[in-house]
Amino acid sequence: MEAISINLRINGKNKKFVTPNFISGKLFRDAAEIAEDIESTDPERIYTEKQIEFICAAFGNKFSADEFENGIDARLVTRTIYGTANYVLGNIAEASQILNPDPKEGEEPGK
């Protein structure tokens, strides 16, 4: 399966993280719940601890929850969580489009 990546600013440096080759079945169940949470648009179901832990697990726990929260651009949080959930669910094209929108729509925040 094609990997996805995210960039986090850790200790003042941008670091790229790529999903591992193996993603557990438990993450699939979590991804389904997270996608449903975000699609609900209920503010209490968006950007939860469970979602942050999910992101860390989906990227092989290569960074901590604190590193994710402090290192992700705030304008990319929901897109990153939702895109990663779609990736784990096997919606690779949709995940790629969510995480890497058409450049015609404007540059990615922070660039």
Per-residue pLDDT tens over the stretch 22-74? 999 999 999 999 999 999 989 999 899 999 999 999 999 999 999 999 999 99
pLDDT for 39: 94
Domain boundary assignment for the chain: 24-100
Number of H helices, E strands in the chain: 5, 2
Residue 102 has pLDDT above 80, yes or no: no
Average pLDDT over every residue of 85-100: 90
Confidence (pTM): 0.86
Average pLDDT over the chain, rounded to whole?
A: 90
Give, for 94, the enclosing helix (H) or strand (E): helix 92-99
Average pLDDT over every residue of 105-111: 51
